[in-house]
């Protein structure tokens, strides 16, 4: 209760969402009451305390000609008569339509049902968009119902699977070549679906759809496969002076494709054209650290970026764990300003230089291995890497460009991979992720 004055938007009022979307919080942190509920749930689980919730909930969603309708049924499991009201909320900023609070007066074993419509979900591909994919995308479809009774309210997460089950299995795979397979699970079992990466493409997104039918009813399985070619880090040293002549033979990775202009919530490109901010990255694995060459198109000297590193073994990349980062910007004297993140204890000799060119700018960076809490390149040859670049034009809104991200960069799930090689332009695999 002593913390409540610090969170004036949410204390003492019903949740409009379970996350604080304005003011003190952000899209990945619960508000203060949410933290309290998490702590209580963890405490109960650690102590083996059985749950005895008064209402049980069952939900199901279905496709109609006008979109998705979700039906929720609440049953009194308390053994005592119970009165109250139910209010439904969608995750994050998704819109749902419900006639109003559902009043109930239930004897033990009695049930009450209500239906919810999703105004922004008219067709299957809408479930790929934010914020609807948080509710109806992936293999866990859900919404929130708050059970108000007496003087209290109990938030509940209610699963709302579609009446015709079928989902592409989310996952992460390393692909040699340009053909891969994803798994689709339906009532009939599991099947593999072949997918082709377009020729000459290094990064992209491929939407996948499958119509499902059963007993005259129709449903859909929808997902998106994201592919990013491994970056190539040629073994060797570089002089950090902003002159990129020594990098001309290196394979580079693009940052600036339309599919790479996105916020945590999804696509968002404020550039007039991709050429307004388009970057190519190249890497060298030195004896004391990582060298990065950056060739940028158009005026980028007001931009800033954050580089993230995950030096764990390949089998741990893409999983929960630590990461390290450095922030960068461009100073007027040709220095690349670099600062280590709080997860690093040391970064000896970290430096960078940049030069203006006729088409934009060239830059070179040196990131010492100690910043990543290691003394050398990962023994297995692969380094987890992520770049989040914010392009700030003279006029207009900024654009967030990413190499591999599809979510919040504090989660290493979405980092790409840079592989050390001895020969330039070696064949590189793809990292493929399915939501």
Rounded distance between C-alpha atoms, residue 274 and residue 261, angstroms: 9
Hey, what are 287's tokens? 């004896």
Hey, what are 100's tokens? 């109003």
CATH number at residue 316: 2.60.40.1190
The domain boundary, picked from 127, 159, 191, lies at: 159
Q: Which residues pair with residue 327 across a beta bridge?
A: 306, 339
- On whether residue 200 sits in a domain, the answer given is no
Hey, what are 70's tokens? 């979700």
**149 and 16 in a common domain:** yes
**415 and 266 in a common domain:** yes
- On whether residue 190 sits in a domain, the answer given is no
Rounded distance between C-alpha atoms, residue 412 and residue 121, angstroms: 30
Query: How is 36-72 classified by DSSP, letter by letter?
Result: HHHHHHHHHHHTTPPP--SEEEEEEEEEETTEEEEEE
Domain that holds residue 97: 4-159
- On whether residue 209 sits in a domain, the answer given is no
How many domains does the chain fold into?
Answer: 2
Residue 410: the pLDDT is: 87
Q: pTM, whole model, 2 decimals?
A: 0.84
Hey, what are 25's tokens? 């919080």
- SS3 of residue 353 by DSSP: strand
**289 and 401 in a common domain:** yes
Instruction: Using DSSP bridges, classify how beta strands 231-235 and 278-285 pair: parallel, antiparallel or unpaired.
Output: parallel
Among candidates 203, 222, 201, which has minimal Cα distance to 212?
Answer: 222
- On whether residue 244 sits in a domain, the answer given is yes
Among candidates 151, 125, 140, 168, which has minimal Cα distance to 61?
Answer: 140
Query: Which sign, positive or negative, has the C-alpha torsion 44, 50, 56, 62?
Result: positive
- On whether residue 424 sits in a domain, the answer given is yes
What percentage of the chain's residues is helix, strand, coil (to nearest 5)?
A: 10, 45, 45
Q: Cα 364 to the chain's mean position, in Å? A: 28
Asked if 355 contacts 362 with a C-beta cutoff of 8 angstroms, the reply is yes
**256 and 147 in a common domain:** no
Outline where DSSP puts E strands in 92-214.
Answer: 102-106, 111-117, 142-149, 152-159, 166-168, 171-175, 179-186, 189-196, 203-214
Residue 275 DSSP code: G
Asked if 304 contacts 277 with a C-beta cutoff of 8 angstroms, the reply is no
- On whether residue 340 sits in a domain, the answer given is yes
Hey, what are 102's tokens? 């559902």
CATH number at residue 72: 2.60.40
Residue 162 DSSP code: B
Rounded distance between C-alpha atoms, residue 81 and residue 403, angstroms: 56
Residue 130: the pLDDT is: 84
Rounded distance between C-alpha atoms, residue 27 and residue 11, angstroms: 18
Residue carrying the six token digits 């991979």:
417
Residue 411: the pLDDT is: 87
**155 and 251 in a common domain:** no
Among candidates 43, 107, 104, which has minimal Cα distance to 72?
Answer: 104
The domain boundary, picked from 159, 181, 207, lies at: 159
Q: Name residues whose C-beta falls within 8 Å of residue 46's C-beta, 6 or more positions apart in sequence.
A: none
At 283-342, the pLDDT tens digits run 999 999 999 999 999 989 999 999 999 999 999 999 999 999 999 999 998 999 999 999
**246 and 388 in a common domain:** yes
Rounded distance between C-alpha atoms, residue 285 and residue 380, angstroms: 13
Q: Name residues whose C-beta falls within 8 Å of residue 292's C-beta, 6 or more positions apart in sequence.
A: 281, 282, 283, 284, 307, 364, 365, 366, 367
Rounded distance between C-alpha atoms, residue 95 and residue 93, angstroms: 6
Cα-trace Rg, the chain: 25
Using the CB atoms, write b or e for 266-299: b if 16+ within 10 Å. eeebebeebebbbbbbbbbbbeebbbbbbbbbbb
Among candidates 97, 69, 81, 92, which has minimal Cα distance to 162?
Answer: 69
Residue ranges of the chain with per-residue pLDDT less than 70: 1-33
Rounded distance between C-alpha atoms, residue 90 and residue 357, angstroms: 49
Hey, what are 51's tokens? 């749950």
Q: In degrees, to the nearest 5, what angle opens at C-alpha 413 toward C-alphas 386 and 156?
A: 135
**238 and 135 in a common domain:** no
Residue carrying the six token digits 């139910």:
86
Rounded distance between C-alpha atoms, residue 294 and residue 329, angstroms: 13
Residue 394 DSSP code: S
Residue 48: the pLDDT is: 87
The domain boundary, picked from 100, 129, 159, lies at: 159
């Amino acid at each position: 209760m002593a913390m409540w004055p610090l969170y004036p938007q949410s204390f003492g009022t019903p949740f409009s969402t379970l996350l604080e979307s304005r003011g003190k919080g952000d899209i990945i942190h619960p508000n203060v009451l949410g933290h309290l509920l998490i702590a209580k749930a963890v405490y109960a689980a650690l102590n083996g305390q059985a749950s005895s919730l008064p209402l049980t909930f069952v939900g199901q969603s279905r496709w109609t000609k006008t979109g998705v309708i979700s039906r929720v049924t609440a049953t009194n499991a308390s053994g005592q008569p119970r009165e109250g009201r139910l209010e439904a909320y969608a995750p994050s900023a998704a819109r749902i339509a419900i006639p109003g609070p559902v009043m109930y007066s239930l004897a033990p074993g009695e049930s009450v049902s209500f239906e919810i419509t999703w105004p922004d979900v008219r067709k299957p591909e809408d479930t790929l968009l934010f914020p609807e994919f948080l509710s109806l995308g992936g293999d866990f479809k859900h919404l929130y119902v708050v059970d108000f009774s007496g003087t209290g309210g109990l938030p509940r997460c209610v699963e709302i699977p579609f009446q015709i089950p079928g989902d592409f299995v989310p996952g992460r795979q390393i692909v040699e070549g340009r053909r891969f397979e994803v798994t689709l699970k339906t009532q009939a079992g599991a099947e593999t679906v072949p997918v082709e990466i377009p020729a000459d493409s290094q990064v992209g997104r491929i939407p996948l759809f499958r119509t499902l039918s059963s007993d005259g009813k129709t449903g859909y399985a929808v997902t998106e496969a994201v592919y990013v070619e491994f970056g190539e880090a040629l073994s060797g040293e570089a002089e950090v002076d902003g002159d990129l002549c020594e990098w001309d033979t290196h394979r580079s990775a693009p940052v600036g494709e339309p599919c790479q202009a996105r916020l945590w919530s999804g696509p968002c490109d404020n550039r007039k054209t991709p050429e307004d901010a388009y970057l190519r990255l190249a890497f060298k694995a030195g004896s004391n650290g990582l060298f990065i060459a950056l060739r940028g198109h158009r005026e980028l000297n007001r931009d800033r970026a954050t580089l993230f590193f995950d030096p764990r073994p390949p089998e741990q990349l893409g999983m929960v764990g630590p990461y390290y980062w450095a922030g960068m910007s461009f100073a007027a004297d040709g220095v690349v300003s670099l600062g280590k993140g709080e997860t690093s204890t040391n970064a000896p000799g970290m430096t960078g230089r940049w030069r203006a060119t006729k088409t934009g700018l060239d830059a070179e960076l040196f990131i010492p291995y100690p910043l990543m809490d290691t003394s050398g390149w990962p023994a297995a040859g692969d380094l987890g890497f992520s770049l989040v670049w914010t392009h700030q034009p003279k006029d207009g809104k900024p654009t967030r460009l990413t190499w591999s991200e599809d979510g919040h960069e504090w989660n290493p799930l979405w980092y790409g991979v840079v592989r050390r090689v001895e020969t330039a332009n070696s064949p590189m695999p793809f990292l493929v992720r399915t939501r």
